[in-house]
Structure 1
Amino acid sequence: MSRIRITKQFSFETGHALYGYDGKCKNVHGHSYKLSVTVIGKPINDASNAKFGMVIDFSDLKTIVKDEIVDVFDHATVFNKNTPHVELAKELKDRGHSVLLVDYQPTSEMMVIDFAEKIKKHLPETIQLHSLKLQETDTSFAEWYASDN
């Protein structure tokens, strides 16, 4: 049977700042991110299986991505924990804000790498993550492909 790619799209709002950057993005700002998750596998060929004909149930993929990414990053502010932004992060947390401290510069490029690792851990063995596209504006995005990694 043929291998098929399926894609599910997600959106979330996240703030960030790029410490040490030489442009406007050094300031705290936010994006309306759009994440496209594409997986690849063979449709289930067992007619007695409730998921017959599916590579993965879209709702199962949605659960993985929402639990690992959307619900964590939505309306949070992300800072690299190895920068002086930790002081700002502490202040925001103390005031009840959702703050994430990560081990990387929170660029779209680094976020999409992080997201790929998080998603891959939860996919069934028969399904592979094919690609991710993280769009931070209408004209700017980062892509991750399994074939490149």
Structure 2
Amino acid sequence: MIQQIYPSPSHEFSYELNKDFQFAAAHYVPHEAAGKCQNIHGHTYFANITIAGDQLDESGFLVNFKTIKELLHDRFDHGILNEDELFSDKDETRFPTTEVVARIMYEVIQEYLNTTINKPQCLQVFLRETPTSYVIYRPKSGGLL
């Protein structure tokens, strides 16, 4: 795993959890402005998920690291992002660009967190597509509450 210091969002929560992982996935961007990226190609993505909250769950976790891996890594690793139901070749807000992938990762995590008793919040998704290119997605205040 790449050792990285990520930009950190400011917050007032007592606990902050960060989960790093990588996944390999292929995709294409179905728009003429994407140039060569219109062709199917792959990346080894590096992700960092930042979750914060004030209350731990009944097992003493803000959220179990394993759950984050199951929700994101296990879903996207060694797949073609365009084939996942969360992405679309017709709706530009769902093309699997790095920006959209980061936002969708946030949506998947926050949807799960909303079902928990302690209700932590996903504050940011950092997604590196290549060694020189990354995106940070931070929801506007409130996110998917």
Q: TM-score, normalised by structure 2?
A: 0.71
Where structure 1 has 5 or more consecutive residues not aligned to the other structure, the ranges are 80-98
Residue 21, structure 1, aligned to residue 14, structure 2: no
Residue in structure 2 matched with residue 138 of structure 1 by the alignment:
131
1:4-19 correspondence to structure 2 within 5 Å: 4-19=15-30
Q: TM-score, normalised by structure 1?
A: 0.70
Question: 8 Å contact 2:13–2:52 — kept in the other structure?
Answer: no
* The structure with more strand, counted as a fraction of residues: 1
- TM-aligned CA deviation for residue 24 of structure 1: 1.5
Residue 35, structure 1, aligned to residue 47, structure 2: yes
Give aligned-pair identity as a percent.
28
| Runs of 4+ deviating beyond 4 Å | none
Larger Rg: 1
Residue in structure 1 matched with residue 84 of structure 2 by the alignment:
100
Match for residue 119 of structure 2 among 97, 114, 126: 126
Give the letter for the 2:139 counterpart: A
CA gap 1:76/1:2 in 2 versus in 1, 3 angstroms: closer
1:48-127 correspondence to structure 2 within 5 Å: 50-51=59-60, 56-57=62-63, 60-63=64-67, 65-79=68-82, 99-101=83-85, 102-103=87-88, 104-123=94-113, 124=116, 125-127=118-120
Rounded to whole Å, the distance in 1 between the matches of 2:23 and 2:70 is 13
Question: 8 Å contact 1:8–1:62 — kept in the other structure?
Answer: no
Where structure 2 has 5 or more consecutive residues not aligned to the other structure, the ranges are 1-11, 89-93
- TM-aligned CA deviation for residue 20 of structure 1: 2.0
> Matched residue pairs, number?
121
CA gap 1:2/1:13 in 2 versus in 1, 3 angstroms: closer
Rounded to whole Å, the distance in 2 between the matches of 1:32 and 1:12 is 6
